[in-house]
Structures are given as C-alpha cells and as structure tokens.
Amino acid sequence: MSIGHTLLGLLESGPRHGYDLKRAFDEHFGQDRPLHYGQVYSTMSRLLKNGLVEVDGIEAGAGPERKRYAITDAGVTDVAQWLRSPEKPEPYLHSTLYTKVVLALMTGRDAAELLDTQRAEHLRLMRGLTERKRRGDLADQLICDHALFHLEADLRWLELTAARLDKLAQSVRG
C-alpha cells in the first residue's frame, strides 16, 4: 500500500493534522498494521517537499506546534493517477514456501511434514479471519474475504504440491 497516496486521498476531504491523518488511516486501513506517528510525519514531510501538500496552518498546543496539511492541485492529480493505475498482479513466482519445500527435499528433510505444518497454520489463520469477518462491518468483511481467497489459493497449492511431492523429489534430487 502506498502510504503517501493514502494520506493524500484522506486529505481530499479537507485539511487535517498529522494526528487526524493517523487516526483516519488506522480506522479505515490500519486495523492490522496501524501507522506509527513517525511514518505519518516523515511521509507528510516528503509530500510537502514534493509539492503535493502544503501547510494550511500552524496551531500552538500543549506540546509542539501542530501543522495542518492540505492537499495541493498537484496532490489531487497524483492521487487521481494512482487510483487509475492498475495494481500489478502478484504472481508469487518467488515463493518462500516453494523454496522451503525444494530445500527440504534437497537436504533429505520431511517436505510432507513441512506442508502439513503450513496447512495447519493456514487453516488457523483462516478460522480467525472467518470469525473476524462474521463480527465485522462491510469494510472488514471485504478485507477478510480478500485475505481468505488468497489463503484458499495457497491451500490448493499445498494440496497439489503434496500430491506431486514424490515426483518433485525425483526432479530436485535427480
């Protein structure tokens, strides 16, 4: 996820302080990985330097001064271009899991056990996501569905690989 583009998009509804941007980001996109304040302020500094935001006001508070940021026309254009650009599909051709299976076979370790352990971990995570989806609002349901569909694809791959393990072992040892 592009944190910069996400923060710019949040600014389109109006100027905000860094604290407000963090809170809005975490509420909509960061349930599993909330932003750190340092990320917000370093990103805003970069966006300011690049002319995509401007300081709309500075307020004195109990602590340090609070800058209120506003998106510039260049920022709006940048967000619009980002939203129109398709995300590159991730073909997962450099899978750590595949590497582990092949290395297990090459070194004489039990690749079937590795696959079983991974299958159990996927199923554990899927149960948790299914429960979260059941309790969540529409946004949470959609993000859980996205994750669940990817995990289901991984499970299919685990089953296929387990079924072909003997043949793969011959191939990598041969």
Tell me the HSE value of 138 on the side-chain side, using a 13 A CA sphere: 0
Q: Which parts of 23-146 are beta strand (E)?
A: 53-59, 66-71
Mean pLDDT within 113-120 = 96
pLDDT at 10 over 80: yes
pLDDT of residue 40: 95
* Per-residue confidence (pLDDT) for residue 32, from 0 to 100: 82
Average pLDDT for 97-124: 94
Confidence of residue 1 (pLDDT cuts 50, 70, 90): low
Query: What are the tens digits of pLDDT across the range 65-86?
Result: 889 999 999 999 999 999 999 8
Instruction: Determine phi and psi for 63, rounding to 5 degrees.
Output: -110, -140
Burial 52-67 (b: 16+ CB within 10 A, else e): bbbeeeeeeeeeeeeb
Element (H, E) at 128: helix 111-135
pLDDT band at 30 (very low <50, low <70, confident <90, very high): confident
How long, in residues, is the chain?
174
| 42 pLDDT above the threshold of 90 | yes
pLDDT band with cut points at 50, 70 and 90 for residue 33: confident
At 54, is the pLDDT very low, low, confident or very high (cuts 50, 70, 90)?
very high
